[in-house]
Amino acid sequence: MTIAPVHIIGGGLAGSEAAWQCAQMGVPVILHEMRPVRGTDAHKTDGLAELVCSNSFRSDDPEYNAVGLLHEEMRRNGSLILREGDAAKVPAGGALAVDRDAFSHGVTQALMTHPLITIERGEVPLPPDAWDNVIIATGPLTSPALAQAVQAIGGEDQLAFFDAIAPIIYRESIDFDTVWMQSRYDKGDGTDYINCPMNKDQYLVFIKELLASEKTEFKEWEKNTPYFEGCMPIEVMAARGEDTLRFGPMKPVGLTDPKTGKRPYAVVQLRQDNALGTLYNMVGFQTKMKYGDQTRVLQLIPGLERAEFARLGGLHRNTFINSPRLLDFMLRLKKKPAWRFAGQITGCEGYVESAAVGLMAGIFAASERLNRNITPPPPTTAMGAILSHITGGGNAETFQPMNVNFGLFPPLPNEKESLKSIPGKERGRARKKILSTRALHDMDAWISDRFDHWAA
């Protein structure tokens, strides 16, 4: 029996993962990626699953961190993104960070060589009606034509926010007489980050110049677009108060300058960005400063006086739909069920969350094509918690992008009673471990039930 293909629009993290899941279930896929025929403001290559911001998938701890738990759930579901992320891993303490070029190459090769996946280059401004099973995974940089088509059918105004990109520095241009290698609290091998220390005077000068620098000017239609809190430009944070950065991305806790034996007043951390260790990105230093001032201000940081930048920071506009109002629990557009959505366009936030929604969309689409019944993953799992948030748990009136976090998980039965014997300082950590244990148990059951049901 010939199986009709699933059409997937967008070759980012979500689209790549969705294509892989469909094909691994035996369903043909046509993956449509508009690059390089049409570029975006943020992408630099035509590779699939290109990382345009940080190179970090964040914590890889499955017991005490929600995103680390999400990593593990995706691995158990045969995730291509996690497989290639693990293969392209670079040192980053307790985080999973990758060589972005090696990662994209691995994903691209896996999809190009899969016998059930066809990759077509070119923009899809509107999926034809003949496509009866479509996944739209165009991400936060959806082309205007497709965005307008979605808006016309969904009947909702587009929501949008700005996402800023952090600069990347050549390692050889960093002054190692000033900086030192140390992970916060010595996690990982203890030397996964380069630390640039600041005393109080240096910090205050930096904040002053940061605030006085020239910023990217927004077009008139962009001026009312809010920022996403998880990717806030440093100058926007600095404008909230003198100490905001020192208690944010420049916090010095868990670090000791070996030259003084003391904790600095503030610290700028650099994290390895490629496998060769020649490139480092500035952790949490997304910025909208214009290039001239950006170089001048960043070179005020001790150790970076002669820094050379492989990529300066930038800013791009992200768009997402009001998923709680527009999508059903299988990620289908209520007004046009042939269209399914995945990735950041749904209002999830983060590389891994985007790929996880792509993973679920791929499984749902393939199951539909194969006429197999399937239920969503339980809300007690990390994947299920994200799905619940974007398809019903989020408030449609105030919906905003959300990273996975334990606040999205259903509470434990008799939670207060079961945890009251644990000392207050340890209670939160104990709760996270119990939630993670429950999540993996329920995820394993969901995977087992799915395959047992299909086998029957």
Per residue in 361-400, pLDDT tens?
999 999 999 999 999 999 999 999 999 989 986 567 767 7
| CA distance linking residue 291 with residue 280, whole number of Å | 18
Q: Is the pLDDT of residue 447 over 90?
A: yes
Mean pLDDT computed over every residue of the chain: 90
Domains in the chain: boundaries = 6-89+100-158+321-455, 164-317
Topology, domain 164-317: Elongation Factor Tu (Ef-tu); domain 3 (2.40.30)
Per residue in 247-287, pLDDT tens?
999 999 999 999 999 999 999 999 998 888 888 999 999 99
| CA distance linking residue 281 with residue 11, whole number of Å | 24
Domain 6-89+100-158+321-455 class in CATH: alpha beta
Give the number of C-alpha atoms closer than 13 A to the C-alpha of residue 219, restricted to the C-beta side.
Answer: 6
Query: What integer pLDDT is reported at residue 232 of this predicted model?
Result: 84
Q: Is the pLDDT of residue 319 over 80?
A: no
